[in-house]
Structures are given as structure tokens and as C-alpha cells.
Amino acid sequence: MAAPLGGNGAPHRPVLLGETINFLAPERGGLFVDCTVGTGGHSEAILQSSKLTRVIGIDLDAEALSHASKRLASFEERFYPVQANFRDIASVLHSFGDDEVRGVLVDLGVSSLQFDSPVRGFSFRFDAPLDMRMNQGEEVETAADLLLRLPEEEIARIIYEYGEERNSRRIAQWIVESREQGNPIKTTKDLADLVYRAARNRKTSIHPATRTFQALRIAVNGELEGLDKFVATATDLLQPDGRFVAISFHSLEDRIIKQELRRLSGYCQCPPRVPVCSCGTRRAVEMLTRRPVTPSTIETDQNPRARSAKLRACRKLI
């Protein structure tokens, strides 16, 4: 998230840093996996906690990995950068031949490196191609591609479900009408201006286009796909007493993480009023957070982008 400059010149202010380190307890030493390393703020704190700590830093963004590697160069061979999707944690660990994982961290927010880039298309603060891909080297559709191809109903669904935008149908209608008139949405300015005009209530604390941009970013990168399976895999890879920490910035992400951690902690999945449990749920983890941990007022004052962050953590039992 947005921050003062790091040692390599990259902006970075890791969200909920103190809370993350408290739950991960990296002072115990061992191998930790930072599944979304970004520019390396969380990993730096993990590595500083003990000389016996090692970190595998995973990120789809090659530019972020480059910044993280420079930032963490002083830790020499204790930091291993890997360009991959965090959902591929099992195959990444297999390639290292290491299965003694003491902690896993995933921070699902967009890094400042991406959000503050004037050419990546994540922010309407810059007029840029409407891209929004986390990995620009990957052959996937951009946000502009989606808005050019998808039918009005699907665009409205994405904006409503992923952005929780009340004006989703009206915005989708305007997007389709614009492309039918020969003016497809190609840039961040195109989209921001259209949403601003389409929004019925512009008197909000955030820009009217914020939720629409968020929704398209989630759709382009498939951010919710397989998230529950990732949580199950990551916790399964932990050693007994290993820690799992997830930081999310969207209610849908948090809901998926919450539900999967409840299942892993032994919460019965059977329908209500079933006399005998038959779901076979077993208690594999202990919840360390009864409710999500959120940033303090001091942190949100210093870093407004942290305001929607929620942290959940658990400890591996078996």
C-alpha cells in the first residue's frame, strides 16, 4: 500500500505489519512463504526477526519481484523470489524440495507499485490504457477487452458482485451504448468519466468510479477464483504450530477466507437441524482471530488505503 520510499526507492508501507508479525511469530525461525511479496515490506520484517528465518517470496508481477529482490539483497540467500500465482504455492514449494513451512502470509491488496503506476491502468488518477493485469506478460484479457466483449448483463453482474455498486445496471448500459456508438472504453479516463456521469449519487466520500474499477480488476485477474482451495492448501502445507495469516481488502475475499477457516477449525458444515453430523469435518487449525483484525486509526490516518484491510489468522494443529 502507499508508503514512504523503501531502501531501493520503491514505495511501500505494509498494512497491519505489527499484527502480521505477531501472528506469524517468525522469531521461531524456519521457512516462511510470503505469497504476495509486493515490494517486500512484510518479508523484510520476517527476515529481520531472526537470522534463522528464510522467506520464499511469490508474486505474479515481475517488476514487484525486482524491487523486492533489491530491497532484500542484504539478506543474501535467505530470500528466494519466485514469479508465480500465489495459488500455486504447493508446486512452488515442491520445486524447492522443502516441506517444513512455519508460516504462510497472503496480502490480497494491490501494491502501491501497481496502483501508483501511471501506465498499469489500475487507477483513474492517471489517463492510461485500461489494462489492470497483475502480470502484464500473461496472455489474458485486459479490462478494456472485457468491456468490449461482454454483454451488458455480464458487465452489470461483475460491477454489482465484485464492486457492490448500486448503479451497476446503469453503468453497464452506458458502457454498451458507448461502444455501440463507436466509442469503446479504452482508457482509465474514458471509464472514470463515464461512471461519473452515470452515477446517480455523486456525493460520496470516494470517487464514483472506485467500485467499478475494483470490480473490473477482480474480474481481470480472477482474484476470487480458487481462493478457498488456496486457504486449504496453504494451511495443509504448514508444520504443526505453523501459522497462516491472510489480509483482504474486499468483503467477498474476507467472506471466503472466513468460511474456509471456520471449516478447517472443525465447524460443522451440515444443514441446520440435522440430528447427527455427517459432513466429516475435522479440526485441523485453531483460529487466532475470533473477529478480523483491522488497522488502527493511526495507521489509516498515515495510510488511507489500509482502511478496508481485514486480517484473519490461524495455527495448524495436526
pLDDT for residue 276 is more than 60: yes
Same domain, 93 and 233: yes
Residue 11 lies in a domain: no
Which structural domain, as residue segments, surrounds residue 77?
Answer: 17-108+224-316
- The pLDDT-based confidence of 110 (bands split at 50, 70, 90) is confident
| Alpha carbon of residue 188 to chain centroid | 21
Same domain, 209 and 231: no
Q: Among 194, 221, 248, where does a domain finish? A: 221
Q: Among 221, 254, 284, where does a domain finish? A: 221
How confident is the model at residue 6, as a pLDDT? 38
Contacts of 163 (CB under 8 A, 6+ apart): 211, 212, 213, 214, 215, 216, 218
Same domain, 101 and 245: yes
Q: Largest Cα–Cα distance of the chain, in whole Å?
A: 62
The x, y and z cell numbers of residue 229, run together, are 482451495
- The pLDDT-based confidence of 282 (bands split at 50, 70, 90) is confident
Same domain, 230 and 95: yes
**Count of beta carbons in the 10 Å neighbourhood of residue 231:** 25
**Count of beta carbons in the 10 Å neighbourhood of residue 67:** 24
Same domain, 234 and 103: yes
Q: How many domains does the chain have?
A: 2
Environment class of 147 (CB within 10 Å of its CB; exposed 0-12, middle 13-18, buried 19+): buried
Residue 7 lies in a domain: no
Q: Which residue has the cell 466509442?
A: 183
Same domain, 104 and 228: yes
- The pLDDT-based confidence of 123 (bands split at 50, 70, 90) is confident
Residue 214 lies in a domain: yes
Same domain, 81 and 139: no
- Tell me: the pLDDT tens digits for 190-204? 999 999 999 876 667
Same domain, 22 and 162: no
Who has greater pLDDT, 10 or 223?
Answer: 223
Full strand arrangement of the beta sheet holding 53-59 = 79-83, 53-59, 30-34, 101-107, 238-248, 310-316, 285-287
Same domain, 53 and 137: no
